[in-house]
Amino acid sequence: MWTKQVTDMIIAGVGETLYMTLFSTFFGYVFGMPLGILLKVSDKEGLRPNSVLYKILDVIANIFRSIPFLILLILLIPFTRFLVGKSYGTTATIVPLTIAAIPFIGRMVESSLNEVDPGVIEAARSMGASNLQIVFKVMLVEARTSLISGATIVTGTILGYSAMAGTVGGGGLGDIAVRYGYNRWQTDIMLVTVILLVVLVQIFQTIGMLIANKLDKRK
Amino acid sequence: MSSIVIQDVSKTFETKDGSVQALNHVSLSIESGDIYGIIGMSGAGKSTLVRCMNFLEVPSEGNVLIDGKPLSEFSPKELRKEREKIGMIFQHFNLLMQKNVLENVCFPLYIQGKKKSEARAKALELLEIVGLADRAKAYPAQLSGGQKQRVAIARALASDPQILLCDEATSALDPQTTSSILELLQNINQKFGITIVIITHQMSVVREICTHVAIMKDGEVKEQGLVEDIFNHPKSQVAKELISRDSGSDMESKKLTQPEIQNGEIVRIVFSENSAFEPVIANLILTFHEPVNILKADTKNVGGVAKGEMILQFMNGSTNVPEMKKFLMERGLEIGEAN
């Protein structure tokens, strides 16, 4: 039963999982990064406090973070169909994955930026830096180690979500694990896909931490 | 023209537990080229005051004039431009931890949009001045506290400021490093004519390099003037406390009272520059054939002039006391009550 067909399928599954994870993480950061920066800047201790804006972003982020991913996946079907043209398949899955990732990434970015020493920001202000310069030349630079370890966690989480998307026809390793391992009782196939998922998370984690440590000049 | 003028500035902070008045109608005038100390205990409002000088804190009332121009009339953009003329250093240095020394010094120049090559040349020049040219490629985490403050000073000087604000710049440093940083600040003041404002709670810092001092307590300036005058004739209670605390630490061991002389009148005498080298006390004893007890003696370097202060106790029931006081006064010493 362990045929070339199965092997090919699993290799394709790895490719699909990576495709979904990496693209969703990328698009997640495209929107999540500005969200995190806006949260930090509009915070009452921020560079430009704006309690209304902060509250709105805060509530939206919390709502999307509290909806279980599987439910979000289904709720977003019309939106996904509108964007991609169909609601199933690997490419379509990127849409709900990205939507789920944005508020999560926003929070990760916000908390990384919170770690930046307020004294350094004050020093930059005393030199005549504008808020934009402080964000890009001080906060993002000083927080880069934390931002990268955050990105590592985000990637791992999205990888986990992408496996869940398999249940609704999303493709990837999760899909294989559910269809063959769970529905057809082929435990060996399930085991292999799960191990591959673990290995993928491990690889992302190791690479992320290596880069973060390499860039950290605080020690 | 005065470099910095603080006009009747008040600052109130709104906190959860009601409003706190950090500054209460403070007025000061700092002349160009001064090294101006602002001293007080923590919570006296001195850090708020120094932040009003570059509008990091906007006063609730009153105005701040830099070179005669009120900061409140600047637009945000003009204010940022103005801040380039006002350097600032901090207690905890506040360097970019992820950038090396050279990039830290270049930072204010990059903000101003200077070219990389131009910024680097200038930064290296400044690192030379602060004595850290050989550490240009090091990261702040690899430097000692004193070295970090030197980098911060170089960074503050990068935009050729006319004013340098120092917020407890030596408070996190040991005494030896403190002295070397103060020496550097003094050199900078003399070499570039930069007005320096020093916020501190250490009287030793004020007497080592400041020309003028303002003493703060509870958000108010209690006393201000030339360092020399205030050391010789402190008027306010807080000034007296700060001065006695300053000398107290190194004088503790000399406070032994001889048993022969007890309960006699105690006076404080101050030497000025003309009298410091004559053996006045020895001559006094030889003239009157009567011992006096030196309870405390101290010489300090006050603004570059050697200053001496002694607490003398006369013999109990001595009839010569008025004559002895006259003798001391004739020799240019000042006599006051000991406290």
Highest mean pLDDT among A112-126, A161-175, A177-191, B7-21: A112-126
Return the HEC string of B45-104. Answer: CHHHHHHHCCCCCCCCEEEEEECCEEHHHCCHHHHHHHHCCEEEECCCCCCCCCCCHHHH
Length of chain A, in residues: 219
Cβ pair A141:B98 closer than 8 A: yes
Picking from B214, B217, B164, the residue whose alpha carbon sits closest to that of residue B29 is B214
How large is the average pLDDT for residues A38-55? Answer: 95
Chain B CA closest to residue A130: B80
Cβ pair A123:B88 closer than 8 A: yes
Site from B94, B135, B137 to mutate, A interface, most A CB atoms within 10 angstroms:
B94
How large is the average pLDDT for residues A81-102? Answer: 91
How large is the average pLDDT for residues B139-143? Answer: 96
Least confident range from A44-48, A106-110, A184-188: namely A184-188
The CA distance from B164 to B169, in Å, is: 11
B277 to chain A, any CB pair closer than 8 A? The answer is: no
The CA distance from A28 to B197, in Å, is: 48
Residues in chain A whose beta carbon is closer than 8 A to a beta carbon of chain B?
117, 119-120, 122-130, 133, 137-138, 141-142, 144-145, 215-219
Q: What is the mean pLDDT of chain B?
A: 88
Q: How many CB atoms lie within 10 A of CB B81?
A: 13
CB B240 within 8 A of CB B339: yes
Q: What is the CA radius of gyration of chain B?
A: 24
Picking from A190, A194, A173, A169, the residue whose alpha carbon sits closest to that of residue A181 is A190
Nearest-Cα distance to chain A for B211, in Å, is 25
DSSP, collapsed to helix, strand or coil, labels residue B315 as coil
**What is each CA distance from B172 to A96, B55, B200, B268, in whole angstroms?**
51, 25, 11, 34
Contacts of B39 (CB under 8 A, 6+ apart): B46, B199, B200, B201, B202, B203, B205, B206, B213, B214, B215, B216, B242
DSSP code for A93: H
Cβ pair B56:A138 closer than 8 A: no
pLDDT of residue B247: 63
Per-residue model confidence as pLDDT tens digits over A113-163: 999 999 999 999 999 999 999 999 999 999 999 999 999 999 999 998 998
pLDDT of residue B279: 78
- How does residue B253 score in pLDDT terms, banded at 50, 70 and 90? very low
B171 to chain A, any CB pair closer than 8 A? The answer is: no
**pLDDT over 50 (residue B250):** no
**What is each CA distance from A77 to A28, A84, A165, B156, B171, in whole angstroms?**
18, 10, 12, 56, 61
DSSP, collapsed to helix, strand or coil, labels residue A180 as helix
pLDDT of residue A198: 93
B49: left (phi over 0), alpha (psi -120 to 50) or beta: alpha
Chain A residues lying within 8 Å of B80, measured CB to CB: 128-130
pLDDT of residue A86: 87
Top pLDDT among A87 and B9 is at B9
Token duo for residue B263:
């309960």
How large is the average pLDDT for residues B93-108? Answer: 97
Residues in a beta bridge with A64: none
What is the DSSP track for A102-161?
A: HHHHHHHHHHHHHTS-HHHHHHHHHTT--HHHIIIIIIHHHTHHHHHHHHHHHHHHHHHH
Nearest-Cα distance to chain A for B88, in Å, is 7
Interchain CB contacts (distance < 8 Å): A and B: 76
pLDDT of residue A56: 96
Token duo for residue A214:
């390499």
Token duo for residue B242:
């700060």
The letter for the amino acid at A167 is T
CB A186 within 8 A of CB A180: yes
pLDDT of residue B251: 40
Token duo for residue A110:
């916000």
pLDDT of residue B304: 63
How large is the average pLDDT for residues A39-60? Answer: 95
Chain A residues lying within 8 Å of B113, measured CB to CB: none
The CA distance from B198 to B211, in Å, is: 11
A122, A128, A215: residue with CB nearest B94: A122
The CA distance from B198 to B239, in Å, is: 17
Chain A residues lying within 8 Å of B98, measured CB to CB: 141-142, 144-145, 215-218
Picking from B247, B196, B257, the residue whose alpha carbon sits closest to that of residue B38 is B196
